[in-house]
Structure 1
């Protein structure tokens, strides 16, 4: 099974298969690759307050927004909980990756309107952009995760890029 049963997005197994193909193609063509890890800040607390069915409905709305926002060449998957990944293997530079990430943020930020309530989301997007020859999938996800946590430390909701090496003792 390569589909997340709740959101109908690709699941982790599908992501692993896809990224393997993308990394090989990127190495062969010597083109950059962007991996964007997206999460919804404080989603666990929100789910506890609203209940499981409402939390699931919110995840489905977010997944639908991500699928609509993704470009034709992008690959979107749900990792677990409120964590999603977008792989863009046709970005030309950091500026192009930033445009994609900011578009995702803009798409996910509006409140989710449910039957009797409006729920605000604070998405965080961690981005790693690299030549595929340099990394493997676990490292790409770790770098995107480091960028996402750097974003959370500097303020909730937004985009942050992974930069190798410490800056003031912290990854950027």
Structure 2
């Protein structure tokens, strides 16, 4: 091998080694950013979970203190439970929230409610009263259970 060929081979090998080192440096940056992003995502999910638990505690307390109408509170609790923990939302002790949600799913809300004639609104309100009589005790038991057992700070 001639000295020129050996020199070129050496320069090529050094160039390859430098590029490999730079590629490794870039990959390490990518891996570090991915780890940081995973940590940020986990922290955001933990914050969201804690926020949902706090919202559930407020709603359950409000339902027990009758600060929120039973049906509205039950529907809101059901929706939050679905986002908080699907296993908890399917727990038999929370079935009442799903039952009230299902029983009122077809009833118009917001602008559609306001657009109903008075007879139709009264019919729905009578349905609400019947549901409240039927499910009030169970909803209160479930709200109490959520506060006392399911949403304890250790579970949240």
Using structure 2 for the length normalisation, give the TM-score.
Answer: 0.26
Bigger radius of gyration among the two: 2
